[in-house]
């Protein structure tokens, strides 16, 4: 019987084989087909209602924040700052005004609720007295309040300067 001698493996052959194995492992995710999801969708998971959000506490619960401001060294409000209770301006926000001829409508936001009102209509305890181009005058037994249209915050420009 004749013995055949195999050539001795050199270090270069061993390193080349290891590099090929690493390349095959790295390319495997792109070469294998994607595995479909094994969990079927049920009707209950598709039509499940969104969870209800918890109701926020009234603004009077946060009066300590106004009375003792965090970023003031003395933890006292600046002199001359109004510390009145919540007003209609803190409750509602003027989103926009639409004028068509003599008719005017104002769009207000009360958190997640959006309301549109015309002059003379009632809004909670307030009556819409006048709608201007950028403001709404509300009146009640407590007095009058003006909601001003605030400009949108400027977005940072995408171009580097």
pLDDT greater than 60 at residue 155: no
The answer to whether residue 120 sits within a structural domain is yes
33-42 residue pLDDT tens: 777 666 665 5
The answer to whether residue 103 sits within a structural domain is yes
The answer to whether residue 131 sits within a structural domain is yes
Residue-number span of the structural domain to which 125 is assigned: 87-148
* Element (DSSP H or E) covering residue 139: strand 135-140
Q: What is the mean pLDDT of the chain?
A: 77
Task: Give me the mean pLDDT over the 94-100 stretch.
Answer: 88
For CA atoms 60, 64, 67, 72, give the dihedral sign. negative
The answer to whether residue 25 sits within a structural domain is no
- Confidence grade of residue 7 (pLDDT, cut at 50, 70, 90): low
- Confidence grade of residue 119 (pLDDT, cut at 50, 70, 90): very high
The answer to whether residue 110 sits within a structural domain is yes
pLDDT greater than 50 at residue 112: yes
The answer to whether residue 116 sits within a structural domain is yes
Q: Is 121 helix (H, G, I), strand (E, B) or coil?
A: coil
Taking phi over 0 as left and psi of -120 to 50 as alpha, with beta for the rest, 75 belongs to left
pLDDT greater than 90 at residue 19: yes
Domain count, the chain: 1
Task: Give me the mean pLDDT over the 76-102 stretch.
Answer: 72
Full-model pTM: 0.42
24-28, 47-51, 89-93: least confidently modelled range: 47-51
Token reading at 43: 């009707």
Q: What is the CATH number of the domain that holds 92?
A: 2.30.30.830
């Amino acid at each position: 019987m004749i013995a055949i001698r195999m050539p001795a493996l050199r270090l270069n052959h061993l390193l080349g084989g290891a590099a090929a194995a690493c390349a095959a492992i790295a390319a495997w995710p792109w070469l294998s087909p994607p595995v479909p999801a094994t969990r079927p969708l049920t009707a209950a998971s598709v039509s499940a209602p969104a969870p209800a959000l918890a109701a926020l506490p009234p603004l009077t619960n946060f009066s300590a924040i106004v009375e003792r401001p965090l970023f003031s060294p003395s933890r006292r409000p600046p002199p001359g700052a109004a510390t009145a209770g919540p007003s209609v301006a803190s409750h509602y926000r003027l989103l926009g005004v639409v004028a068509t001829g003599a008719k005017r409508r104002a769009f207000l936001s009360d958190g997640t609720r959006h309301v549109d009102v015309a002059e003379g209509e009632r809004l909670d305890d307030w009556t819409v007295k006048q709608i201007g181009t950028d403001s709404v005058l509300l009146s009640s037994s407590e007095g009058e309040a003006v909601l001003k249209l605030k400009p949108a915050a400027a977005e940072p420009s995408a171009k580097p300067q």
